[in-house]
Amino acid sequence: MHSDEAVNASITGDLLAGQSFHYDPRDRHGPLLQLFGMPVARLCGAKTFSDLSETQLRLTPVLAGSATVLLFGAGVEMFGFATCLIAALFFVVAPLPVYYSRYFIHETLFVGATLGLILSSWRALKNASVLAAAVAGLCAALMFACKETSVIHYFAVMVAGAAGWRLNPREKLPPVKIFVTAFGVFIVVGILLFTWFGRDWRALEDLGRAIPHLVARAGGEGHEKPFGYYFPLLAPTFLLFLLAIVGACAAIRDAVAGVRKTGVLLVIYTLVVFLIYSAIPYKTPWLALNLWLPLTLLCGMGIDAIRRFRKGPTSRSVTVIAVGVLLAVLGKQTKALAFDKPADEKNPLAYAHTVEDMLRLSPRLEKLATEENLPEPLIAVAAADPWPLPWYLRKFRRVGFWQPGQDPGPADFYITSPEEAERLGDRLKDRRPEFFGVRPEVLVILWRPAESVAPSPKPQ
């Protein structure tokens, strides 16, 4: 489990124990992941934090990713059948969506809600539909309840919508009730979610403090990456970018010809989100999933444009073969990155991921506790950043966590960072260390009691 997954799992465990969700703008995101994750875990039989398993938690993003694939079917009217089919296939097969649809973080839910916002906003404006406007407001609230970066996508959608109106200024603006409905649903649903359905109204005050934290985080906070960081993540096969360029050109051509204008709206949206995400210094690989969504649609447009360029059975056959080959290449990459070596340090998607050595820690503690005849050992963890240790120690009932400078007191076993080991030298001087990897270049030390030295046999 990645450290972020472990944090989200701990929050879910608190909710299973009957606590309310509290929004923390400094180190946490919104409540949507737990809102769906907790009932899924309960249906799987979990009642406490110690009952939870990786499968129970990761089932939530699996379901969200699967729902996103199905949601492409609602985009046929907007983008066309072939485009949506190809985009859905890319989501099923490609490394980025497969890998992070098995990660207990917010990103997969966020991308699904983003697609819902794009489709429902277009329907609301096109048909002046109050129902579609309400769905758009709901999707926007779900996005915000996932991550604060939703404001980037709101801005991109508004820019694309304004550009679409400028392309056809003779069209009347939708009725005011459309905007009022969408905004009203967004506010109501957002308040309900962040206050955990009225149980914690402090969350609204904390939301006001989120802006300075967002600005600071956007500056990097140790995760600074260059402008082009997302390029190799988005297109492990360079052909994808070529297809997206073809799709963008076809969309612009159709808009100029007055055939279909929805494609050019997608082009504008893609450019806006890509430029903003690339310009912000803070970058992680799962954020690339937000760019993968419009990229797949543009690729679908490109393939469809090539198919329409020369109609006939031969053209259809060539298109099917080309798509099949591309999916096979993506599938091979997915097998390597998501299944064969998902936690490998060289895997670009396994960003600061927990190394497999951590899986040894809990069994080792159980064995040592048995050897020392300690049915419920007292374990003290001293480290500035203990995650994901709370997850891997969840089966032990007596575990305490201390920050640097705090004295953990007596314990049966100590687990420390190398820095804290030096500070706690007096408490650890009669113990023996065992080293465990946490993340690449990050270790923790298990300090166990020294074995008693057997007396030397008397000389005969």
- Decide if 12 contacts 52 (C-beta within 8 A): yes
Assess whether pLDDT exceeds 90 at residue 364.
yes
Report the C-alpha gap between 121 and 165 in whole angstroms: 14
Instruction: Encode pLDDT of 446-456 as tens digits.
Output: 999 886 333 33
The 10 Å CB-count burial string (b at 16+, else e) for 43-79 is: eeebeebebbeeebbbbbbbbbbeebbebbeebeebb
388: preceding bond cis by omega (within 30 degrees): yes
pLDDT (0 to 100) of residue 459: 40
pLDDT (0 to 100) of residue 220: 65
Instruction: Give residue 165's pLDDT band: very low, low, confident or very high (50, 70, 90).
Output: confident
Pick the residue with more confidence: 107 or 426?
107
In the chain, pLDDT over 90 holds for what percent of residues? 72
DSSP state of 224: B
Instruction: Give residue 170's pLDDT band: very low, low, confident or very high (50, 70, 90).
Output: low
**Could you state, in order of their start, the residue ranges of all structural domains in the chain?**
3-340, 356-449
Interval 400-417 mean pLDDT: 93
pLDDT (0 to 100) of residue 458: 42
DSSP state of 336: I
C-alpha distances (whole Å) from 202 to each of 26, 212, 260, 423 are 14, 18, 47, 38
Instruction: Give residue 382's pLDDT band: very low, low, confident or very high (50, 70, 90).
Output: very high
Interval 346-353 mean pLDDT: 92
Q: Which of 83-87, 221-225, 250-254, 438-442 has the lowest mean pLDDT?
A: 221-225
CA angle, residues 314, 317, 323, in degrees to nearest 5:
140
pLDDT (0 to 100) of residue 454: 37
Residue 391 phi/psi, 5° resolution?
A: -70, -45
- Decide if 134 contacts 312 (C-beta within 8 A): no
Instruction: Encode pLDDT of 62-104 as tens digits.
Output: 999 999 999 999 999 999 999 999 999 999 999 999 999 999 9
C-alpha distances (whole Å) from 256 to each of 19, 83, 249, 260 are 56, 20, 11, 9
Residue 214 phi/psi, 5° resolution?
A: -65, -40
Interval 296-316 mean pLDDT: 84
Assess whether pLDDT exceeds 60 at residue 25.
yes
Q: Which of 147-151, 264-268, 319-323, 386-390 has the lowest mean pLDDT?
A: 319-323
Pick the residue with more confidence: 339 or 167?
339
Assess whether pLDDT exceeds 60 at residue 243.
yes
Assess whether pLDDT exceeds 60 at residue 268.
yes
Instruction: Give residue 207's pLDDT band: very low, low, confident or very high (50, 70, 90).
Output: confident
